[in-house]
Amino acid sequence: MHLRTILFASTLAASVIGSYAQQKQSSGTSYLLNQTIDMSQDFTDLANTYFFADSLTAFDAETGKGEVKWVRRQLMPRQAFNANTYLHQPLKSLDFPDTAYPQDPVLGFQIDPINANTIRLRVYTSKVVKDNPDEVMLVGEPSVNRQAWKAQKTANGYLLKSAKGAIEIQQHPFRIVLKDSQGKLLTQTRCWSDNDSTQVKVAPFSFIKRGSDNTRSINPVFSLQPGEKIFGCGESFTPLNKVGQKVNLFVTDPQGPETPDQYKPIPFFFSSRGYGMFMHTSAPVTCDFGRTYIGAQKLFMADETMDLFIMLGEPKDIISEYTALVGRPEMPPLWSFGTWMSRITYFSEAEGREVAKKLRDNKIPSDVIHFDTGWFGVDWQCDYEFAKDRFKDPEKMLKDLEKQGFHTCLWQLPYFTPGNRYFNELIDNDLYVHNQQGSSPYEDAVLDFTNPATVKWYQEKLAGLLKQGVGAIKVDFGEGAPLNGIYHNGRGGLYEHNLYPLRYNKAVSEITKTVTGNRIIWARSAWAGSQRYPLHWGGDAATTNTGMLGTMRSMLSIGLSGFSFWSHDIGGFVTSSPENLFGRWLPFGFLTSHSRIHGAPPTEPWLYPEKFMKLYRSAAEMKYKLMPYVYAQAKDCSERGLPMMRALFLEYPNDPGAWLIEDEYLFGKDLLVAPLLEDTNSRNVYLPGGKKWIDYQTGKTYSSGWNRIEAGPLPIIVLVADGAAIPHVPVAQHTGAIKWDKLDWKHYKADAKTTEGLLCLPTDNKLEKKVFK
């Protein structure tokens, strides 16, 4: 690693952190370690120089290369009638020698068509343009297809047009205009002329050069139209429609799904107007979707380059295009769709065996037993070895559990305290993230997954467990990678902090695949690309109705951000779950792709009254009966990049009401689920698509639109779309015991003359569509 690289990486991260800390301190609050960063604050700093996109100076339609003139300005205070604000004013450069540094620099951009739906736009703020040799977000360098978009000269620039839409590059003022195939304006970059003459409300497309160290960051600003809705940006817990919100894309530990921060921020979003954007960066981003000005979406990037993939189409098309770029998940193993039984924590072989026995004795269908933070010698201190005094023969235990139809999952984390037996080994062998001095930024040693030697060391430790018979590894934490760290690949924490979960997910997934043949993990943190490594869960939910709501929002939001599979802690995590809440949460949890009961004890049904255990059993049995439907829908999602749990508008984009619903979801294509978020036995349910829906529990038929519906025997409302055929099997105690030869199709018809459904048998994993007349 070059000293020059180390110093630059450290300085850039320190500049961003310092700028943010200064803003926080001015309001009386110090910046706390790995607190989320609001990049918009850097763009109101009087010490910075501002450059605004002014005019197109050159463009070659054959290569897609062009140049833009950027006009220099400064931010100055303005007073009017005892109200102070800031305005950008023309700035005469005082740089010396003036012959070396232009007043208004001319810098490059590149536009590359990928296919008829997708085009890539890169805008540079430096003459130094370098590819990243350590790319991990994309599944490969996207191929350029210039034939997909035809370019032509216009009176004020250039027009690139495909069968799906058009992009216009206007010369002066410089503007990027996005239109659909009918010529309708979708969005465009904002210019100075979009503001009125008396007061500048929105600074347009710009970049800054920091006075502290001359580092640069870019801020594309696009229009936001009346009635427009924005979705995506990761596993967000706030309302699904992000218009009116400021979203910080910075991996952090939000301490549960009830705050604006995220375990899994994803730099991708799409609009109800028919376009989506993937910001191909790992640096922090703050998206202001009409929060500070209702007509603008401002993308404040820490990155000095804007690398934007723009996608056109319906929501499903956009998500499919996005996942084609960053990858889709391999189909998880059948057993992973069964019940995962856990608590924090089982401490011994005896406890594990006892839980397995009681699950079978009480006929609770289950496939996985998870040992959380206490399976090694000291709780929370992972050393990759079962505690010898509490696990007499762990390998035999694993084999015995497997014979009973159980797979096993083990917790671990990538941080090593000074008291951990491996701490000195990691330090001595340089396997940790460094600081500028070459030491550790934290008291802990944090595994450096950019170092091949670290990955090899780590995977060898996990392989030892997997070879003993462990089925999956819990990939906990990963949100705390040092932002001011220096990584083995020469990059700083500004660009590696958000990538840390992806590298972490990848390392565990690949060794699991190598040893077991299955690509399955249980991860909390993520970034763009992590969806290739299923699966992820929603973090530490509060055991409250609010925790349940936040969990549901996060489920839908991560699905709208390109993740097919997802789970959560059924009943909440933080404290023991109240019986009423737990009872309403159970059927919701079993109607997600992956179902884990986990959290503060008790979580086991036999520790509750008999009535509750019957409810628990019935909820689990419902999913196991539906396993052919679950498996087929999962296969379809893995092939197309769609979410198993999806917002209503994904299937019904032409239904305006479907875009407004965030407390219902579709489980696969044909089941609509409306959980009870309060202590009640009925609720209002919106049924989309102008069709009839049949209650899965009671058989009653309902028309589209709003209906007041009572729950059935299970405290949840589940409806089936008219014309759906849903495959079922008899209840089995684990997925390995399912009698697939007893598969039975149930047909749901009101007005429909035929029914149809998907089928995928685990024997051949081939997806087929079945139509019944």
- Sequential DSSP letters for 541-562: --SSHHHHHHHHHHHHHHHTTT
Contact of 632 with 757, CB cutoff 8 Å:
yes
From 14, 13, 36, 12, select the one nearest 24 (Cα to Cα): 36
Instruction: Tell me how far apart the alpha carbons of residues 659 and 272 are, in angstroms, rounded to a whole number.
Output: 8
Side chain identity at residue 539, one-letter code:
G
Instruction: Please tell me the number of Cα atoms within 13 Å of 120 on its side-chain side.
Output: 21
540 is catalytic: yes
Q: Residue 692: phi, psi to the nearest 5?
A: -85, 155
Contact of 696 with 685, CB cutoff 8 Å:
no
* Catalytic site residue from 303, 307, 479, 722: 479
Strand locations in 333-449 (E): 339-341, 368-371, 407-412, 415-416, 445-446
Instruction: Locate 766 and state its tokens.
Output: 């081939």
Q: Residue 61: phi, psi to the nearest 5?
A: -65, -25
Residues 6+ apart with CB under 8 A from 82: none
Cβ count near 195 (within 10 Å): 15
Question: CA-CA distances (angstroms) from residue 150 to 112, 163, 180?
Answer: 11, 10, 15
Cβ count near 58 (within 10 Å): 12
Instruction: Locate 751 and state its tokens.
Output: 């007005």
Helix, strand, or coil (residue 409): strand
Residues 6+ apart with CB under 8 A from 272: 227, 228, 229, 230, 231, 649, 659
Tell me the torsion sign for CA atoms 21, 23, 28, 32: negative
In the DSSP assignment, the letter for residue 761 is -
What stretch of H or E contains 641? Answer: none
Contact of 297 with 221, CB cutoff 8 Å:
yes
Instruction: Please tell me the number of Cα atoms within 13 Å of 292 on its side-chain side.
Output: 17
Q: Residue 22: phi, psi to the nearest 5?
A: -65, -40
* Catalytic site residue from 54, 349, 444, 540: 540
* Catalytic site residue from 307, 476, 496, 569: 476
Contact of 66 with 111, CB cutoff 8 Å:
yes
Instruction: Tell me how far apart the alpha carbons of residues 633 and 558 are, in angstroms, rounded to a whole number.
Output: 17
253 is catalytic: no
Instruction: Tell me how far apart the alpha carbons of residues 197 and 391 are, in angstroms, rounded to a whole number.
Output: 75
Instruction: Tell me how far apart the alpha carbons of residues 434 and 496 are, in angstroms, rounded to a whole number.
Output: 12
Strand locations in 253-365 (E): 265-271, 275-279, 285-289, 296-301, 306-312, 339-341
What stretch of H or E contains 94? Answer: none
From 323, 158, 249, select the one nearest 501 (Cα to Cα): 249
Instruction: Locate 186 and state its tokens.
Output: 């979708």
Instruction: Locate 665 and state its tokens.
Output: 């979801």
From 638, 594, 592, 655, select the one nearest 320 (Cα to Cα): 638
261 is catalytic: no
Contact of 241 with 270, CB cutoff 8 Å:
no
Provide the terminal-to-terminal Cα distance of the chain, rounded to the nearest Å: 67
Instruction: Please tell me the number of Cα atoms within 13 Å of 499 on its side-chain side.
Output: 22
Compute the 3-state secondary structure of the chain and give helix, strand, coil in percent, each to the nearest 5: 25, 30, 45
Q: Which residues are catalytic?
A: 476, 479, 540
